[in-house]
Chains A and B, each alone.
Chain A
Amino acid sequence: MKRQWDCYATALRMTFVEHLRNRLALVIVVLFIPVWTILIYVLSLEIPLPFHVRAAGRSVTVPANVLNQIGGALQILALITGFMMFVTTMRSASFDRRLVRSGFPQLCLIAAKLTALAVVAVSVALYATGLICLTHRPAQPLLLAAALAGGALIYGGIGIVLAAVLTSDLAGMFLVIVICSADLALQSPLATTAAGSVLVRYLPDFGPMQSAVAAIALDTVPWHAVAPAACWALGTAALGVSAFVSRRGAHQPAGAPVTARP
């Protein structure tokens, strides 16, 4: 047990070192999140816009600049966590494989990556929530933070999945941007009439978007949005982990008997 804990602690420390070495992501977090969330709020129109909080069974009217800000915050957090997880998972693939073959428990590596994902998601979500609170006061700031963290978690998982199937930073980043843009554009009543469609509930950020809008305009928690968000977060994490394991391909530590597949 002590060995498992040592391995986990070491892997976690190293995973954070990897993330902290990703300077571009840090610059985006520190500089781009405030610029984006504040600018989009200031420069968007304040016209009232109806938004159907399907998960709560209610329609609310929200200023367009607030709605844009929420969508923008979800998008930038999704891009950052997706990018961070994609880059660290892809760049460490060979090294992780060598570590596992040298006896490092794969479970500890996976647990460390998922812990780091959760910490990154919660940190950027709290940061973005704080910035949003500078511009206006949401009805439920904690729910807003949870919604933003949920969106970040989902796209972090997507980043891990993409790292298992793609081989270039550019392709990964491009796909994260495309998926995220389509996801949020289809939910914005400002961008498309599809926002009212029942199909939007199957989009990755449906739960986070519904919860975030509820956090702004309602004083209840839309529990029906939690299930799809949790499914997406757990599903992408599970898919990412299995892709992570299969990509490593090291079925055992070096030195164990090797035979053909039965």
Chain B
Amino acid sequence: MPSDEPVLRVRNVRKGYRQVPVLRGVDLALPPGRVAGIVGENGAGKTTLLRVLAGDLRPDGGSVHCGGRIGHCPQETVLHDAFTVEQHLRFFQVAYGLESLRRAEELMEVLRFPARRRARPGTLSGGTRQKLNLVLALMHDPDVLLLDEPYQGFDWETYVRFWDLAEELRARGRSVLVVSHLAYDAGRLDTLHRLEDGVLREQERDAAESGDRVGAP
């Protein structure tokens, strides 16, 4: 049974752009082996929060402490059009200091990544690019996975496989934080938070499901 000591702890994080506050004091504690969701309307600051958590943006105030490795899958696919799929994997293998690409291979199999290792991102479909984006965030088996609208472009089957993968990560004590503008996945989450007026509020999942549209990605 995983401990309840948070693997990711966020305290009073504040961030604004040009004097306009976006995050007004966000608190969050994510224990190991949990799948949590953050929902909010467009412009609520979800992506800003995730970038602060990933260390990509420095907050104006507050702190973020993570007790393990972080994997961050950004909303837009951050790939390089000059490199093949194979070269992307190689680059990130070196970045993460991995001995082998075994985990990446497993993930690609789970996500049914087409066997086109010499293809460049420009020749891949949007969904396949997003799969590669996700594999790059996950291939070092992080303790905390931060996902920003992770299933954009996924077909239904891949969407289901994605949640199977999230289940597998949870079972192995990994924590997943999913950011979305809709709460149709509320039933798959352990906890759901709503980002509103720059602060996070825990929300009843039933209320979220009835309040937001329920449907496919």
A residues lining the B interface (CB < 8 Å): 3, 6-7, 10, 14, 17-18, 21, 91-92, 94-95, 97-99, 101-104, 249-261
Contacts and interface: CB of A to CB of B under 8 A. Distances in A.
A99 B92 contact: yes
Given A102-B92, A104-B95, A259-B59, 15 more contacts: A10-B90, A14-B87, A95-B78, A98-B74, A102-B136, A250-B56, A251-B55, A254-B54, A254-B55, A254-B69, A255-B142, A255-B144, A256-B55, A258-B55, A260-B61
Contacts of B56: 97, 101, 249-250, 254
Contacts of B81: 21, 91
Contact of B58 (A10, A91, A251): A251
Contacts of A260: 14, 58-63
Interface of B: 14, 52-66, 68-72, 74, 78-83, 87, 90-92, 94-97, 136, 140, 142, 144
A21 B82 CA distance: 6
Contact of A103 (B57, B78, B90, B97): B97
B60 A101 contact: no
B58 A254 contact: no
Given A94-B78, A257-B65, A99 B95 contact: yes
29 contacts: A10-B94, A14-B87, A14-B91, A18-B82, A21-B82, A91-B81, A95-B79, A97-B56, A99-B91, A99-B92, A101-B54, A101-B56, A102-B95, A102-B96, A103-B96, A104-B91, A249-B56, A250-B55, A254-B70, A254-B71, A255-B144, A257-B63, A257-B65, A257-B66, A258-B52, A258-B58, A258-B64, A260-B14, A261-B58
Contacts of B54: 101, 254
A255 B69 contact: yes
Given A17-B82, A254-B72, A103 B95 contact: yes
A252 B57 CA distance: 10
A94 B78 CA distance: 6
Nearest to B65: A257
Nearest to A102: B95
Given A102-B96, A258-B55, A260-B60, A95 B70 contact: no
Going nearest first, the 6 A-B pairs with the smallest beta carbon separation are: A104-B95, A258-B64, A255-B70, A21-B82, A254-B70, A102-B95
A15 to B, nearest CB: 10
B64 A257 contact: yes
Contacts of B60: 260
Contact of B87 (A17, A101, A251, A255): A17
Contacts of A102: 92, 95-96, 136, 140
Given A103-B96, A103-B97, A104-B95, A253 B82 contact: no
Contacts of A251: 55, 58
Nearest to B140: A102
B94 A101 contact: no
A249 B56 CA distance: 7
A85 to B, nearest CB: 14
A259 B10 CA distance: 10
